[in-house]
Chains A and B, each alone.
Chain A
Amino acid sequence: MTLYDLANPTFFLKLVRRVLPWLIGACVLVSAIGLYMAFFSAPEDYQQGNTVRIMFVHVPSAWLALFCYGMMSVSSIGSLVWKHPLADVSAKAAAPIGATFTFLALFTGAVWGKPMWGTWWVWDARLTSMLVLFIMYLGIIALWKTFDDPAKAAPKIAVLTLVGSLNLPIIKFSVDWWNTLHQPASVFRTDGPSIATSILVPLLVMALAFTLLFVAMHLSAMRNEIFRRRIRSMRVRVAAKAPAAAAGRVVGAAGVAGGN
């Protein structure tokens, strides 16, 4: 199976129908294991106490917020360069999911920040760039809604999405480039993770659960978007036939009138 096979929406829908139940099953199982580990296996942090458990939902949410936008950027390239029929379907379907995960990253970060930093929010580079990401998601969602024809909207929104992708390295390296209250990377580091294994393992299991959840929701949302476009094309066909039929009736009526 290649990317070109997936260009056929009917083939893609068949694939989704087959894969989705397995994805949902795996997601439920991994989430259950991850939540068990987060609350019953992971110890309290020696400094953060129980608030470290917020990290098990905060970090995966933040990763997925970035991953989702990265995927939308790749989809935008696919839409602009190869005109892949499902590329802009993928980009459009991912936006609300990415916005939700970005909101969750911001919210869970705030409720962790209050007891640990003594404040809900600071305008440091990491937090601000994540807020910018959230606003970009909302802008992209709003822009999709302003166009009637998705084919006309796709290239414009793809360009905007790609411009917005410049924010991704800023988010990732903000903690290195600027002096931020947000701590630097502690998992993906050149010298290995700086987190204790007892906390790292539940974190990675929860990240896997969130990723499975994202993939399942994204595939479902893509299926909905394909249905939406099919309905639109059916309505356009009806509308295109309607004036012709009306014109036929007018000509017919004129013919009848002329005959009298």
Chain B
Amino acid sequence: MDFLGFDLGRHGGYVLAAYVVVAFAVTGLLVWIRADRRRLEREMAELEAAGVRRRSQRAKPVQTD
């Protein structure tokens, strides 16, 4: 079996299938992680825009001596 000018031999289909599935799975995982991050960042931005703050983001009380 010939692929991009490279002779993969008589079991080329198996070799190609292995690499294609690895490429698909890794790309899928990367796309999922990236999409998840974008969704979470958007959600956090919406909450912050609505005035919701995390506990650690609360304004510190003013010190009065």
Contact = CB atoms under 8 A, between A and B. Distances in A.
Interface of A: 10, 39-40, 44, 49-51, 53-54, 57-58, 61, 96-97, 100, 103-104, 107-108, 111-112, 114-115, 213, 217, 220-221, 223-224, 227-228, 230-231, 233-235, 237-238
Contact of B18 (A54, A223, A230): A54
Given A57-B22, A115-B11, A237-B55, A100 B29 contact: yes
Contact of B11 (A10, A51, A108, A217): A51
Contacts of B18: 54, 57-58, 107-108, 111-112
Contacts of A221: 33, 36
Majority secondary structure of chain B interface residues (helix, strand, loop or mixed) = helix
B40 A228 contact: yes
Given A39-B6, A50-B9, A234-B54, A97 B29 contact: yes
A8 B9 CA distance: 53
A61 B41 CA distance: 31
Interface in B4-37: 6, 8-12, 14-15, 17-19, 21-22, 25-26, 28-30, 32-34, 36-37
Contacts of A40: 6
Contacts of A10: 56
A48 to B, nearest CB: 9
B40 A227 contact: yes
A154 to B, nearest CB: 19
B62 to A, nearest CB: 22
B9 to A, nearest CB: 4
A235 B8 contact: no
B47 A231 contact: yes
B52 A104 contact: no
A182 to B, nearest CB: 17
